Structure 1
Amino acid sequence: MASRYREIYESWKQDPSGFWESAADEIDWISTTDKVFDPDQGRYGSWFPDWECNTCYNCLDRHVERGRPGQPALIYDSPITGKTATYTYFELLEEVEALACVLDDLGLRKGDRAIIYMPMIPQAVMAMLACARLGIIHSVVFGGFAANELATRIDDATPKAIIAASCGIEPGRVIAYKPLIDRAIELASHKPESCLVFQREEQLADLVAGRDHDLGALQADAIAAGRRIAPVPVRATDPLYILYTSGTTGQPKGVVRDNGGHMVALKWSMKNLYDVQPGEVFWAASDVGWVVGHSYICYAPLLHGCTTILFEGKPVGTPDAGVFWRVIADHNVVSLFTAPTAFRAIRKEDPTGALIGQYDLSQLRSLFLAGERADPETVNWAIEQLQVPVIDHWWQTETGWCIVGNPLGLGQLPVKPGSPTVPMPGYDVQVLDDAGHPLGPNTLGNIVIKLPLPPGALPTLWNADERFFESYLADFPGYYKTADAGIIDDDGYLSIMARTDDIINVAGHRLSTGGMEEVLATHPDVAECAVIGIADKLKGQLPCGFVVLKSGAERSHEDIEKELVRLVREKIGPVAAFKIAITVDRLPKTRSGKILRGTMRQIADGETYKMPATIDDPAILDEISDALKTHGIFV
């Protein structure tokens, strides 16, 4: 069908308040006012001031009351433990109410904070929703985070309780959580009053008398007693959660998400962007510790009346590179949302897509990618293998939902591999030079968003309003700084080329590392790659490319590296001064799949660096260091 995107986007531009007031009709409000937006509240204004709501009610109660009590709400699938479980909307509400009763019994009230430190188990989602039910502000910390990182978050959020599991399970190993929690509480200045621990049978935790409680037992008791607890009214502008993201100073930034605008934006996105209908199965293959897990495992699918999947596994190795296809086939998934790095891993292990043919994927309609730049090679491979629309879209922890995408629900726009397409309603995206002047089409510059930000985006940072202003609003007055660099073409399509600190200056030429990565990814033996700028006395910086080869690549690394240098010279030109290509077994990444280019650059330049809190495997940094030394360029 012809896309309605231009018409819808223009309707938002003409009347932003009217657009979001109409979208807000999809949410059940406790009370509303005539004011949709107050420009005088907060740093850039405030959405739905003085409106009242409850996020948990909108996710669960209303569906139980209106014809969906027996529909699956949450499917848990764990190839690591071999367990699955399905909770209907009625059953999930029962579990969430029970958990909320436990929190209430421990004295947690509206406005209190609770840290959730859990792996990918149903109780993680239940804890988030139980907090939302009572107006408790939750802060999910990725299970297994080091004790000192957890302590930093305890001191910043000052939680009254920690809600945890006894352990996390990775392929081949069990990670005890309780010792990490005990050490974090010991290190922290703030001491939580309670610690609720869900005991997993794979490893039980020792509980501290007087402080620790068996969450599963207390929850079961509340269900057995038939206990209920009503949703607590909160203001639309009250915080729903705090989600910590890395800060340049090493001090994490607590991104605040409010209740009302968050619901409005996510509900709008499920139909109009993802083209998913109530009752269908949506799978975001992410983790609840990240923003994608908050928005599209827990909240958006349940707001929309969908079935959501909670997957405790990896794209490869649990047991093989076909596990995503097995989950899609087993649970009738219509739309998958994951990170490009997952598809690069799958493509590396199964480059011909042989495992895909073993499963019935006829139900799958779309694949969405976000979290890392989706290189055209990966996008084209996925299109060829799956024969469905493959949609790259771009957003940030700070925005909570898509900034730029291809809205399938409004009619798909033409795909340009390498571009996440066009801005969503609410986002006036522009490209400026360093002095804040608008740049013309196809010119690389700073990507910014004209204020105000739309519903769902962060209003501030937790207890750090001045830091919020300095980090995001000060550099380009009237705009939100994304810290990404890119171009907008003649059709209005945006291409993200790099983080602004990944734009390198080679002998006075500003060059995008993302553009070089695109070229490297076209080589038939390359599975994934990363380009960084390393210090050079003559030219200021020189590009250095790291490549991971596909399984079965038989030619010598030296030959492939020479071809890669020639390839960049042919496609970008001598100006790139690309002379260093290094083959490695793997790239250092965060647990959400982002490549740690900044840390790689610090290693190459001989700088001291802080171990990234979110790194998946610290040993990879030593491998990068060794590879640089082998090529004779390590300082």
Structure 2
Amino acid sequence: MANPYDEAFQKSIEDPNGFWGKAAEDITWYKKWDKVLDDSNPPFYRWFTGGELNTCYNALDVHVENGLGDQAAMIYDSPVTDTIKTYTYSQLRDEVAKFAGALAGLGVTKGDRVICYMPMIPEAVIAMLACARLGAVHSVVFGGFASKELAVRINDAKPKVIVSASCGIEVAKVIKYKPLLDEAINLADYKPEKCVIFQRPMEKASMVADRDLDWAELVAGAKPVDCVPVAATDPLYILYTSGTTGIPKGVVRDNGGHAVALKWTMKNIYNVDKGDTYWAASDVGWVVGHSYIVYGPLLRGCTTILFEGKPVGTPDAGVFWRVIAQHNVRTLFTAPTAFRAIKREDPRAELVKKHDLSNFYALFLAGERLDPDTLKWAEEALQVPVIDHWWQTETGWAIAANCLGIHQFSVKPGSPTKPAPGWNMMVLDTETKEPIKPGDIGALVAKLPLPPGTLPTLWNNDAGFLKAYMDLFPGYYATHDAGFIDQEGYVWVMTRTDDIINVAGHRLSTGGMEEVLADHPDVAECAVLGVDDKLKGQVPVGFIVLKAGVDRAESDIVKEVIQMVRDRIGPVASFKTATVVKRLPKTRSGKILRGTIQKIADNKEWKMPATIDDPAILGEIEEALEGIGLAKSRKE
């Protein structure tokens, strides 16, 4: 007997026009589309061409007009400032309309870019939705990202306005944003016309005359504006993702396909409805924050939680349970790292027992591999379904999931269950590019077209889009993940196939870190790779070979390179360990054997690579790794 999932999946693949056309009826359009799927220029597929809508209207105004104006739209819960503030749909719409008016007064119109460099405060969400209201394109950069990284994004997006705040708060530490922003603008070739700064009480930022404007003063004199209709294919936002060298990858999200897909996922994947409280414990700077703090829950008419805190230390490992109980959260979505941190502080889940979680329905985890140990701990502690699902910045929503709103499958620890409707997943041999049999590991790819809500291209970089995702396996989207699909159709994601490592759910490029290390005057060559870490999933470790004749203390050089990565990429890199080695193991063609070093570091079984230039080097590497607590001297 076919179950509802099989039927939905089959329809989505065989008749995408019918499947997504029906889903699109759930969105309010100013003008209906001419075509659901426009496949006239593959692989540049477009969804709902000819249609016109406004995403902010669908996220806020439509609910107010349908009688939900007094329902909570967003609850800001900030243990770091001891604040809880609720915005109803009417209040949030009014605040957004006013800030949109303020931006319009600065000349921001449809198609202009606005960078948001913000902490986890309501004004971050208000700024994003205000851009959507005007048809402007927001690009949110994770608050506290290093100036150099922000400058690169300023050059690429060319924002008319940058919206920022005086500071962010990391547990008990105030992180000043304004000096980072000023330095980024100083470094950037492109200069924004204006900056709008929200002054937080704990830190007053100094302002640059004729460029910087105070948020409160600007809004006080602004008039609210209505939503501007945009084409379904017009961009809603740009979100930069970790790439290797060169131009950053600005993932583009359109308005039409995005609104249709995200609203559909809220019910079909997460099984939440209007009026339910949904909490994605993430950051607005990451894709999870875009999709599931801001757009998804508000499109569905849910109450979303904006949490400014950490899973531990604000004040303790019970804060998640306090938030769930206090705000009647139905579904929580976070990264496995958060649960590993909680488990480390409260291994017997004693703090769970202090809170009433009777309304809590499901926990969803994504962003990195969910280890079976953490899965089991969460299931036992919470007594609800714990659902692993897999997606990427590029996809905007789940590639594979246990779709609770359609049909709940039994969980296989280590697998994010089955491809979501719309995702025709296959495993290809990396050499022959041919499909391989169930159970065999190869490249995980999605047969084109991708479903709505996924990236149509990269910002001003169609060639980069083709090179990064389309050229490797023609007719397919390359996820750059390796894995297999088993006999029952469950997807298993094994490893990244490139140099992106996953630190606490944040995708970071080891290549980018290597560039920083290589810039040190005493470093001849270097390698950075991700090693297993119980708390964060992976952490980067650096190996540096010094230039001949360098006679400084190695410990000083190590300290300096660690500081360089912190300055240029930011604390988010979690780059705290590096070691000096005589030489790096390489293939005869000069490629560094990163995979082998990684296995030795993780104290896993490894084979001598056939292509190695000098096998003796691996012994030296092993010794160096033991000296920093890895390989055989790992404590686990």
Give TM class, smaller chain.
0.7 to 0.9
User: What SS class does the counterpart of residue 576 from structure 2 fall into?
Assistant: helix
Equivalent in 441, 446, 450 of residue 449 of structure 1: 446
1:323 maps to amino acid: V
Cα 1:59–1:302 shift into 2, 3 Å: same
Cα 1:544–1:397 shift into 2, 3 Å: closer
Residues 281 and 334 in structure 2, CA contact (< 8 A), matched pair in contact too: yes
User: What SS class does the counterpart of residue 395 from structure 1 fall into?
Assistant: coil
Q: Does 2:538 correspond to 1:595?
A: yes
Q: Deviations over 1:521-579 (max 9, x none)?
A: xxxxxxxxxxx9xxxxxxxx9x996454xxxxxxxxxxxxxxxxxxxxxxxxxxxxxxx
Distance (Å, rounded) in 2 between the aligned partners of 1:274 and 1:441? 28
Cα 1:68–1:433 shift into 2, 3 Å: same
Cα 1:633–1:604 shift into 2, 3 Å: farther
User: What SS class does the counterpart of residue 35 from structure 2 fall into?
Assistant: coil
Distance (Å, rounded) in 1 between the aligned partners of 2:87 and 2:546? 52
Q: Deviations over 1:124-183 (max 9, x none)?
A: 000000000001000000111111111100000000000011111112211111111111
TM-superposed CA distance for 1:38, in Å, is 1.2
1:12 maps to amino acid: S
Q: Which runs of 5+ in 1 are unaligned?
A: 504-512, 515-531, 533-540, 549-585, 588-593
Cα 1:619–1:484 shift into 2, 3 Å: closer
Q: How does 1:24-35 map to 2 (within 5 A)?
A: 24-35=24-35
Cα 1:458–1:545 shift into 2, 3 Å: closer
Q: In the alignment, what sits opposite 2:88?
A: 88
Distance (Å, rounded) in 1 between the aligned partners of 2:357 and 2:399? 29
Q: Does 2:434 correspond to 1:437?
A: yes
Distance (Å, rounded) in 2 between the aligned partners of 1:475 and 1:457? 18
Q: In the alignment, what sits opposite 1:56?
A: 56
Q: How does 1:226-241 map to 2 (within 5 A)?
A: 227-241=223-237
2:451 maps to amino acid: P
Q: In the alignment, what sits opposite 2:460?
A: 463
Distance (Å, rounded) in 2 between the aligned partners of 1:386 and 1:156? 44
Cα 1:3–1:323 shift into 2, 3 Å: farther
Cα 1:632–1:6 shift into 2, 3 Å: closer
Q: In the alignment, what sits opposite 2:627?
A: 629
Equivalent in 336, 340, 349 of residue 340 of structure 1: 336
TM-superposed CA distance for 1:2, in Å, is 9.5
Distance (Å, rounded) in 2 between the aligned partners of 1:30 and 1:154? 32
User: What SS class does the counterpart of residue 284 from structure 2 fall into?
Assistant: coil
User: What SS class does the counterpart of residue 130 from structure 2 fall into?
Assistant: helix
Residues 402 and 424 in structure 1, CA contact (< 8 A), matched pair in contact too: yes
Distance (Å, rounded) in 1 between the aligned partners of 2:457 and 2:386? 33
Distance (Å, rounded) in 1 between the aligned partners of 2:15 and 2:486? 26
Q: Deviations over 1:361-419 (max 9, x none)?
A: 11100000000011111111111110000000000000000100001001211111110
Q: Does 2:469 correspond to 1:472?
A: yes
Cα 1:544–1:289 shift into 2, 3 Å: closer
Cα 1:633–1:3 shift into 2, 3 Å: closer
TM-superposed CA distance for 1:500, in Å, is 1.5
TM-superposed CA distance for 1:12, in Å, is 1.4
TM-superposed CA distance for 1:290, in Å, is 0.1
Residues 246 and 252 in structure 1, CA contact (< 8 A), matched pair in contact too: yes
Q: Deviations over 1:418-459 (max 9, x none)?
A: 100001111100001112111101111100000111100001
Residues 3 and 412 in structure 1, CA contact (< 8 A), matched pair in contact too: no
Equivalent in 469, 473, 478 of residue 481 of structure 1: 478
Residues 44 and 453 in structure 1, CA contact (< 8 A), matched pair in contact too: no
TM-superposed CA distance for 1:230, in Å, is 1.2
TM-superposed CA distance for 1:19, in Å, is 0.4
Q: If the length of structure 2 is used for normalisation, what is the TM-score?
A: 0.82
Residues 12 and 19 in structure 2, CA contact (< 8 A), matched pair in contact too: yes
Q: Deviations over 1:261-314 (max 9, x none)?
A: 000000100001100010110000000000000000000000000000000000
Quote the RMSD (CA, aligned, Å): 2.6
User: What SS class does the counterpart of residue 346 from structure 1 fall into?
Assistant: helix
Q: Does 2:110 correspond to 1:110?
A: yes
- Farther-moved stretch of structure 1 (407-416 vs 616-625): 616-625
Residues 3 and 413 in structure 1, CA contact (< 8 A), matched pair in contact too: no
User: What SS class does the counterpart of residue 257 from structure 1 fall into?
Assistant: strand
Q: Which runs of 5+ in 2 are unaligned?
A: 503-509, 511-526, 548-560, 580-600, 602-620
Equivalent in 413, 417, 421 of residue 417 of structure 2: 421
Distance (Å, rounded) in 2 between the aligned partners of 1:366 and 1:166? 36
Residues 44 and 451 in structure 1, CA contact (< 8 A), matched pair in contact too: no
Distance (Å, rounded) in 2 between the aligned partners of 1:617 and 1:433? 32
Cα 1:631–1:363 shift into 2, 3 Å: closer
Q: Does 2:154 correspond to 1:154?
A: yes
Cα 1:144–1:452 shift into 2, 3 Å: same
Distance (Å, rounded) in 2 between the aligned partners of 1:544 and 1:163? 34
User: What SS class does the counterpart of residue 66 from structure 1 fall into?
Assistant: helix
Q: Does 2:244 correspond to 1:248?
A: yes
Residues 240 and 249 in structure 2, CA contact (< 8 A), matched pair in contact too: yes
2:37 maps to amino acid: F
Cα 1:418–1:206 shift into 2, 3 Å: same
Distance (Å, rounded) in 1 between the aligned partners of 2:309 and 2:6? 39
1:603 maps to amino acid: F
Cα 1:335–1:614 shift into 2, 3 Å: farther
TM-superposed CA distance for 1:502, in Å, is 7.6
User: What SS class does the counterpart of residue 207 from structure 1 fall into?
Assistant: coil
- Farther-moved stretch of structure 1 (427-436 vs 289-298): 427-436
Distance (Å, rounded) in 2 between the aligned partners of 1:618 and 1:384? 30
TM-superposed CA distance for 1:216, in Å, is 1.9
TM-superposed CA distance for 1:319, in Å, is 0.7
2:426 maps to amino acid: Q
Residues 297 and 310 in structure 1, CA contact (< 8 A), matched pair in contact too: yes
TM-superposed CA distance for 1:606, in Å, is 9.2
Q: If the length of structure 1 is used for normalisation, what is the TM-score?
A: 0.83
Identity %: 57
Distance (Å, rounded) in 1 between the aligned partners of 2:538 and 2:629? 21
Residues 142 and 288 in structure 1, CA contact (< 8 A), matched pair in contact too: yes
Cα 1:22–1:632 shift into 2, 3 Å: closer
